[in-house]
Structure formats: structure tokens, C-alpha cells
Amino acid sequence: SLLPPLLALLCLGAADPKPDPDRDPDEPWCPYKVGGDGAAAAGARLCFRPPARGFQCAARGCRAHRSAGGALVANVLRNGSVLLQWGLRHWGPPSPRPSASLRGFALNCSWDGTYTRFPCDSVELGAACRDYLLAEAHGSVRYRLCLQPRYAPPRPAPPAQCVEFRVEPAAMRDIVVAMTAVGGSICVMLVFICLLVAYITENLMSPRGGHAAGGAAP
């Protein structure tokens, strides 16, 4: 069977990403692990992603939510994905070598249900990471994401910074687009009806009145 060799090639491709020609070779990749609970967390595979350089949240297609301390920003995009960005200067007092003992980041996710809060998958990110993409966030759900840097001893870990946001449901976006299209069609139909009524009033009603007036003169 060719299935095992193909799976092995896919795993090697995921662990050793191909270089991006548009990427600075001196800029490190972001290693991360997505874990869950129990066996899922133990079997988490190390993945890599390039940083989202120069990303800016445009007002028309994105909404930014910032944590209370200002370190963590959640950029909620209209396509349902969320790009998280963060920096180190908002955590605690400045250090001469802020990244010397930095070991990485821990990202914890949870969302509100009807009666309780449910945990999402946790993510462990490397020290070179400054952003992370949530590709598919559920609509109509309020998320709470908390990020905490991890340092080597004896430096203690600073408190986590959290951001909360709600993703606009995809169905609602489709309804808005459909209503806009229907509203435009209704406006065109109303304009056509008004023009038709004006045409009927001008060309059918006026000659009949003029003929009646002309017949009564003799």
C-alpha cells in the first residue's frame, strides 16, 4: 500500500517547511504546538508558521480588540478568522535583555456557552512568535484568550493578559448581503413602477381628457 509512505512524506513536509521566497531569511519561523486534554495534548505535533509581517487591521474588514495591559491584540477579520498579535514591552518593567531568558508563550482559549465556560485548545508558542492565527472561530460565541510569557528560572512568569471578543456569525453576514441585494432590487422595481405610472398618467389619461373637452365645444 502507498498510504504509509505518503503519510510519512506529509509529516516530513509539515515538520520541515519549505522556504518562502518573499520572506527574510534572517527572520525566524514561529514554532508552536496545539494541544487539548489528555492524550490529545501528549500527541501534539510541532508545527511552524511564518510571521504575519506588516499586518494592519483595516476598518472595513477587521475589528481590533486589545487587552487591558495593551500587550495582546485580537484582530477579528470578516472571514471568521482571528489574528493575534503581541509584544513584550507591555509586560512588566523593561529589561536590558528582555528576550535572553524568554522560553516561549502559553496561549489559553475559552468561550462562553449558555450556562458555563468551555475550554478551547491550548497553544504553546516559541520565543520567536509574535502572532498566531485562529483560522476558524465560531460565530455568535464570546471568546476569551489569555497569553502568558514563559521565562527560564529564576525569573518568574508575568501575569497573563487576556482579550475578549465576539465573531460575527457567517450566517448573519450572508443575511446582510442578501438583504442588501434584495433591497437594491426593490428600489429598482419601485423606480420602474414610478416611471410606468408617470408614463400612463402622461400618455393615456391626458389625451382622453383633451378629446372630451374638444367634443363639448360645438
- Give alpha helix (H) positions in 21-135: 39-42
20 touches 30 (CB < 8 A): no
Do residues 15 and 29 lie in contact, with contact meaning Cβ atoms separated by under 8 Å? no
| More confident site: 56 or 115 | 56
Claim to verify: residue 50 and residue 156 sit in the same structural domain: yes
Write the pLDDT tens digit of every residue in 92-113: 655 555 566 899 999 999 988 7
Domain with residue 40: its CATH number is: 2.60.40.10
Read off the amino acid at residue 34: V
Going by their DSSP bridges, the two strands 72-77 and 82-86 should be labelled as: antiparallel
For the ranges 50-64, 76-90, 126-140, 158-172, the lowest mean pLDDT is seen at: 158-172
pLDDT value, residue 162 = 94
Number of domains in the chain: 2
Query: Are 134 and 180 found together in one domain?
Result: no
3-state class (DSSP) for residue 62:
strand
Mark whether 109 and 195 lie in a shared domain. Answer: no
Grid look-up 524568554 returns 102
In a domain, 216, yes or no: no
Residue 23 inside a domain? The answer is no
Q: Is the pLDDT of residue 8 over 60?
A: no
Please tell me whether residues 67 and 124 are part of one structural domain. yes
Q: Are 46 and 31 in contact (CB under 8 A)?
A: yes
List of residues 6+ apart from 129 with CB closer than 8 A: 30, 31, 32, 51, 104, 105
Three cell numbers at 56? Answer: 494592519
Query: Confidence class of residue 11 from pLDDT cuts 50, 70 and 90?
Result: very low
Of residues 7 and 92, more confidently modeled? 92
Give me the pLDDT at residue 25, please: 52
Asked if 196 and 108 sit in the same domain, the reply is no
- Give the model confidence (pLDDT) of 29-50 as tens digits: 999 999 865 444 455 688 999 9
Task: Establish if 128 belongs to a structural domain.
Answer: yes
Q: How far is CA 38 from CA 35, 41, 44, 106, 171, in A?
A: 9, 6, 10, 17, 34
Q: How far apart are CA 139 and CA 152, in angstroms?
A: 38
Same domain, 118 and 190: no
My answer on whether 68 and 164 are in the same domain is: yes
Please check the confidence at residue 217 and state whether its pLDDT lies above 60.
Answer: no
Establish if 2 belongs to a structural domain. Answer: no
Each residue's pLDDT tens digit, 119-143: 888 899 999 999 999 887 887 788 9
Do 60 and 122 fall into the same domain? yes
Confidence of residue 53 (pLDDT cuts 50, 70, 90): confident
- One-letter amino acid at 109 equals C
Residue span of the structural domain in which 152 resides? 28-91+100-168
Cβ within 8 Å of residue 128, ≥6 positions away = 28, 29, 30, 31
Looking at residue 142, its pLDDT comes to 87
- Tally of CA atoms within 13 A in the half-sphere of 130 that contains its CB: 14
Spatial distance between the Cα atoms of 51 and 103, rounded to a whole number of angstroms: 18
Rounded to whole angstroms, how far apart are CA atoms 31 and 176?
Answer: 38
